[in-house]
Amino acid sequence: MVRTRFLADYRPWPFTVLETRLDVTLSPRGTRVRSALRLSRTGPGDLVLDGGKGLRTRAISIDGRTLDEADLSIGEETLTIGEALLPDSEFTFAADVEIDPQDNTALEGLYLSGGIFCTQCEAEGFRHITWYPDRPDVMAPFRVTIRSDLPVLLSNGNPVASGPGLAEWHDPWPKPAYLFALVAGALRAVSGSFTTMSGRQVALNVWVRPGDEDRAGFALDSLVRSMRWDEQVYGREYDLDVFNIVAVDDFNMGAMENKGLNIFNSKLVLASPDTATDTDYERIEAVIAHEYFHNWTGNRITCRDWFQLCLKEGLTVFRDQQFTGDMRSAAVKRIEDVVTLRARQFREDAGPLAHPPRPDRYEEINNFYTATVYEKGAEVIGMLKRLVGEDGYKAAMDLYFDRHDGDAATIEDWLKVFEDATGRDLTQFKRWYTDAGTPHVVMTEDWAATEAGGTLTLTLAQSTAPTPGQPDKPPRVIPLAVGLIGPNGDEVRPTEILELTEPQQSWRFEGLGARPVVSAHRGFSAPIMLRRTLSEADRALLLAHDTDPFARWEAGRSLGLDALIARATGTADAGAAYIAAIGDFLRDAAADPAFAALVLRLPPEEEAASVIADRGLTPDPDAIHAAREALAHDLAAANEAALAGLYDAMVVPGPYAPDAGPAGRRALRLDALALLTRLDGGDRAAALWDSASNMTEKMGALGQLVRTGRAAGALSQMEQRFRDNRLVMDKFFGVQPMAAPPADAVAVARRLAQRPDFDWKNPNRFRALVGGLGANHAAFHAADGSGYDFVADWLIRLDPVNPQTAARMFSLFETWPRYDATRRAHAVAALDRIAALPGLSGNTAEMVTRIRA
């Protein structure tokens, strides 16, 4: 049943839960859940509890008196007890229900993953476990008893008792039901400990399946680094005696921050040099940190309602980005984050699924765990920090933790804290939370030379295109960081922040000697698209000399994009300036390999398509693919010696370490390899496949072999060696459709889908294959519609089994309006075929309707 929820309809629940007691007897087909909620009335109204279809209700009682059917009304989604039947002040509501974890393929609520019982309750999963006020503003301490013969029985909080077949847990920190978790299984712990800043000992465990223990150490170390960092940078101390992390193979998302018991997709826990890449390691470290940081930003301070989701997610992403920047290279991390933001969030903001970081309506909240809520939510906090400064930010954060600890808060509360701590009026700034769309900022320059020295006038003009449901876009506060670079490459003015608040404003820089080159949007100071005219020579100068690493990278990126787009739209041999600038850059590339790897990487086809569309033209995926291949070839040919030199020089001696230093060298080496393969046809890649002793180099080589049609041997070796390793086999399923030549990729995907080990009910495996094809731009957007059909067929199959994972993959289709009429017709036909299906889940129905609108 589809129903729209509105932010404006928020009403508090008329009771407080003083304590929640759960007694759970586990069994795959009939798990018994007995709950007792101590309630106290805070306002008038019936007692209305949430529950799902899967609950087999055996008994409901109030203060021990079992209610007859006549006293209750049990609907599809709620249980109601009339006000007249309830005691006046405090009373206990108890429920006795039975559920079927084995049947739970949606992976929401209590389910089984490879013999492990586990839960996923965010956002509204707890209602599949028992009747409950399943809303984030209802918080309670929990006491949980688990009964099972399985050896490891875990829940939130601290362990209070355990015996044969039984464990009892107590979580003293009031929490909403979405943070509840329970795990039971034959698990092994990799353990450590942490002494907090006030000297408390915390036991740390990473729970994995027997045999996986040797791949859990990095996750444990990452946890310790996260705990220390949150104390040092935010003054936040952990607040329980134990912190447990559990890895499960079947999980809809990355991981979940359940209080004291984080549950992770195993791909974000398990790593060893021969099974995980450098990127996997970096991601594990970041997600372990993210979930840990939620303990304060999400758990101690949670959200009043799901419209406020970015309150916890934007802030926690911002914190995990800061953490990774501190652990590794801040400059490289910033560029990586911008690349992801543009690829996912800008694209979302420009299409039919655009929504503000704080939406004001939704049908299915699980469809709003988006790049906009997460990544743009983080960008908005970055801007806030830039506007109020380091000290202002620190004062505001201290006040936030002080004022709102224990609360279910709102974006208004968050902004008020910043206003109170810094004295700044954030009325206009709030639009970043309420308005969708990426602002365009046009920058123009006027140079006037006088006797006293030249004056540069910079004019900035902002506008934002309409988005669904929001036709008018008033101006926002946009902090644009700029610096000036002299013609000889020296910085003549350090970074300053121009605060654009009007539709158009100008700034004057006086007393300059020669006309400088403006280094603009330094550090990507706001999530906007900056449009300016800058000569190729000036961009080459910035790439060579800018002191700001983001702006420096951006100069090269912009040359690359222009070269690619010119070729894709008609100019055959464009890109001389780009190729020459990269050639100059390569001379110094070894100085900072991780940064150099980013500069050397050609813009992806998808990004070229977005920029072409943004310029009002129709992107042609085949032309873009051909142009990118040709540009890569020419770039390689012009710089062959330098690339070959780097490829040899960037070998990392000694045993593998996942640290930023060696990882950066491997990244540069593999980016050089990708270009050199255009010249040697895959010889180096084949040799590297044979000699590599770590998964990073293996996958770097394999991608090139797949692209050049030389992967058969490597793939069969991979299969031989890793057929029992699910995570490595996901790579096997992903790399082939993603890297195959677009003309072959759909056939490759179809063949893989027929393999018996295409276990499509496992979200990782499904995403590897179907998402892998989706990531091959020219294949997914094949002119004959075969890419759309392949994805649609599989989404149709997945939807009844796992609606959340199916619905989230619809974003692959969100760019359909920008392509040509033939492709649009194919995409619309695929979407309409899905929309017409009887019994479509609410999740998918909402996505299809929004995308088609």
Catalytic residues: 291
* Cβ-based nearer residue to Zn ion, 294 or 726: 294
* Pattern 250-279, ligand 0A1, x by CB under 6 A: --xxxxxx----------------------
Report whether 483 contacts 522 (CB < 8 A): yes
Per CB under 6 A, 480 contacts ligand 0A1: no
Q: How far is the CB of 290 from Zn ion (least distance, A)?
A: 6
Q: If contact means CB under 5 to 8 A according to the sort of partner, which of Zn ion, ligand 0A1, none does residue 212 touch?
A: none
- Bridge partners (DSSP) of residue 454 are 512
Q: How far is the CB of 91 from Zn ion (least distance, A)?
A: 35
How does 611-649 read in b/e, with b if 16+ C-beta sit within 10 Å?
A: bbbbeeeebbbebbbebbbbbbebbbebbeebbbbbbee
- Amino acid identity, position 185: G
* Cβ-based nearer residue to ligand 0A1, 290 or 404: 290
Q: If contact means CB under 5 to 8 A according to the sort of partner, which of ligand 0A1, Zn ion, none does residue 850 touch?
A: none
* Cβ-based nearer residue to Zn ion, 316 or 558: 316
Dist. CA 223–CA 260, nearest whole Å: 12
Site for Zn ion in 305-324 (CB under 5 A): 313, 316
Number of residues near ligand 0A1 (by CB under 6 A) = 14
Dist. CA 255–CA 612, nearest whole Å: 35
Site for ligand 0A1 in 110-129 (CB under 6 A): 120, 122
Site for ligand 0A1 in 20-79 (CB under 6 A): none
- Spatial neighbors of 164 by CB under 8 A, at least 6 apart, are none
Half-sphere exposure of 635 (CA within 13 A, CB side): 34
* Pattern 318-357, ligand 0A1, x by CB under 6 A: ----------------------------------------
3-state per-residue secondary structure call for 603-666 = CCHHHHHHHHHHCCCCCCHHHHHHHHHHHHHHHHHHCHHHHHHHHHHCCCCCCCCCCHHHHHHH
* Cβ-based nearer residue to ligand 0A1, 253 or 706: 253
Q: How far is the CB of 316 from Zn ion (least distance, A)?
A: 5
Per CB under 6 A, 807 contacts ligand 0A1: no
How does 386-401 read in b/e, with b if 16+ C-beta sit within 10 Å?
A: bbbeeebbbbbbebbb
What are the φ and ψ backbone dihedral angles of 496, each rounded to 5 degrees? -135, 160
Q: What is the DSSP string of 358-408?
A: S-SEES-GGGG--HIIIIIHHHHHHHHHHHHHHHHHHHHHHHHHHHHTT-E
Tokens 């912190």 correspond to 243
Q: If contact means CB under 5 to 8 A according to the sort of partner, which of Zn ion, ligand 0A1, none does residue 845 touch?
A: none
Choice from 180, 369, 647, 788 touching ligand 0A1 (CB under 6 A):
369
Per CB under 6 A, 226 contacts ligand 0A1: no
* Cβ-based nearer residue to ligand 0A1, 135 or 386: 135
- Alpha-helical segments (H) within 723-771: 726-739, 742-753, 763-766
SS3 530: strand
Report whether 243 contacts 204 (CB < 8 A): yes
**What DSSP designation does 770 have?**
I
Q: Is the peptide bond before 123 cis (omega within 30 degrees of 0)?
A: yes
Residue 297 Cα to chain centre, angstroms: 16
The CA–CA distances, whole Å, from 629 to 76, 185, 567, 605, 626 equal 55, 50, 10, 10, 5
Dist. CA 156–CA 21, nearest whole Å: 12
Dist. CA 187–CA 346, nearest whole Å: 41
**Burial of residue 418 (number of CB atoms within 10 Å: 0-12, 13-18, 19+):** buried
Dist. CA 7–CA 10, nearest whole Å: 6
Q: How far is the CB of 369 from Zn ion (least distance, A)?
A: 9
Q: How far is the CB of 102 from ligand 0A1 (least distance, A)?
A: 19
**Burial of residue 29 (number of CB atoms within 10 Å: 0-12, 13-18, 19+):** exposed
Q: How far is the CB of 181 from ligand 0A1 (least distance, A)?
A: 11
Tokens 């609907």 correspond to 75
Dist. CA 457–CA 464, nearest whole Å: 23
The CA–CA distances, whole Å, from 664 to 329, 583, 659, 768 equal 10, 20, 8, 25
Q: How far is the CB of 766 from ligand 0A1 (least distance, A)?
A: 15
Q: How far is the CB of 123 from Zn ion (least distance, A)?
A: 12
* Cβ-based nearer residue to ligand 0A1, 369 or 790: 369
Q: How far is the CB of 844 from ligand 0A1 (least distance, A)?
A: 15
Report whether 126 contacts 52 (CB < 8 A): no
The CA–CA distances, whole Å, from 845 to 813, 832, 836, 840 equal 14, 11, 10, 6
* Sole window of 153-161, 246-254, 465-473, 805-813 interacting with ligand 0A1 (rule: CB under 6 A): 246-254
* Cβ-based nearer residue to Zn ion, 377 or 516: 377
Dist. CA 346–CA 340, nearest whole Å: 9
Q: If contact means CB under 5 to 8 A according to the sort of partner, which of Zn ion, ligand 0A1, none does residue 366 touch?
A: ligand 0A1
Number of residues near Zn ion (by CB under 5 A) = 2
* Cβ-based nearer residue to Zn ion, 377 or 549: 377
Return the sign of the alpha-carbon dihedral for residues 577, 677, 610, 783: positive
* Cβ-based nearer residue to Zn ion, 178 or 432: 178
Choice from 50, 313, 320, 349 touching ligand 0A1 (CB under 6 A):
313
Give the pair of three-digit tokens for residue 774. Answer: 């989706």
Dist. CA 525–CA 716, nearest whole Å: 47
Half-sphere exposure of 248 (CA within 13 A, CB side): 31
Name the residue whose CB lies closest to ligand 0A1: 253
* Cβ-based nearer residue to ligand 0A1, 116 or 597: 116
* Cβ-based nearer residue to ligand 0A1, 254 or 468: 254
Q: If contact means CB under 5 to 8 A according to the sort of partner, which of ligand 0A1, Zn ion, none does residue 253 touch?
A: ligand 0A1
* Cβ-based nearer residue to ligand 0A1, 122 or 562: 122
Give the pair of three-digit tokens for residue 84. Answer: 């007249």
Applying CB under 6 A, the residues found at the interface with ligand 0A1 are 120, 122, 252-257, 290-291, 313, 366, 369, 804
Applying CB under 5 A, the residues found at the interface with Zn ion are 313, 316
